[in-house]
Amino acid sequence: MAVISGAANRGMPGNQSSIDPEYFVALYRHNDDPWNFAGSGYEAAKYATTIAALPAARYGSAFEIGCSIGILTAMLAKRCDALLAVDVSDRALELARLRCSTSSHVRFAAMAVPKQFPSDTFDLIVLSEVGYFWSRPDLALARDRMIAALRPQGIVLLVHWTPPVSGHPVSADEVHETFLTDGRLKQLQGRREERYRLDVCQKT
């Protein structure tokens, strides 16, 4: 999953409920790369910044929510001993598995977070271009489940597109502030680029 913009934004339901997972399933049914992750210079630069923001050189166990076709997943895999990457689209997961086929320490699963959530614990959780698809109650639930799943001193890395998009239940800033204002986390890094915001938080 990622920012809804351009062609992918057309037909997006405009309400305050979480976006139905079937919306994303349908996108990948018609286009293997609906946000041009593979060819976008913007996405490549953002991914590089995201990886550079990781405060540790390596993580024992990591969780990526909304892995899409696995481009960021492949980059994260180089910094983790074990990585669980999930998405709601079987087609996206199929492509992600192919991209990461040589990385045996990466697992993929179909999962609609936050209603579904792994029982594992993690040193790192990455939420990139996903949080604003959730309603406020689901965003709060996701935050709580993510914090509960973090090991002591675990890291949450947040990255979201900041320009307003019609149909998003919440804004990028609301997503990030939901985490930054929670007393169970402390902010380690924060930066705002022209079109996205990145924050790194640690479990206290």
If we measure between CA atoms, which residue out of 110, 171, 108, 162 comes closest to residue 139?
A: 171
pLDDT at 126: 99
CATH superfamily of 20-203: Vaccinia Virus protein VP39 (3.40.50.150)
Per-residue model confidence (pLDDT) at position 181: 98
Give domain limits for the chain.
Answer: 20-203
Q: What would the two tokens of residue 186 be?
A: 């402390």
| 167 backbone dihedrals φ, ψ, rounded to 5° | 105, -20
**pLDDT for position 16:** 86
pTM of the shown model: 0.92
Q: Rounded distance, CA 74 to CA 30, Å? A: 23
pLDDT < 50 stretches in the chain:
1-15
Say how far residue 145 (Cα) sits from the centre of its chain.
14
Q: What is the DSSP string of the chain?
A: -----GGGGTT---SSSPPPHHHHHHHHHH-S-TT-TTT-HHHHHHHHHHHHT-SSS-EEEEEEE--TTSHHHHHHHTTEEEEEEEES-HHHHHHHHHHTTT-TTEEEEE--TTTS--S--EEEEEEES-GGGS-HHHHHHHHHHHHHHEEEEEEEEEEEE-S--TT-SS-HHHHHHHHHT-TTEEEEEEEE-SSEEEEEEEE-
**Nearest in space to 64 (alpha carbons), one of 118, 144, 135:** 118
User: What single letter denotes the amino acid at residue 43?
Assistant: E
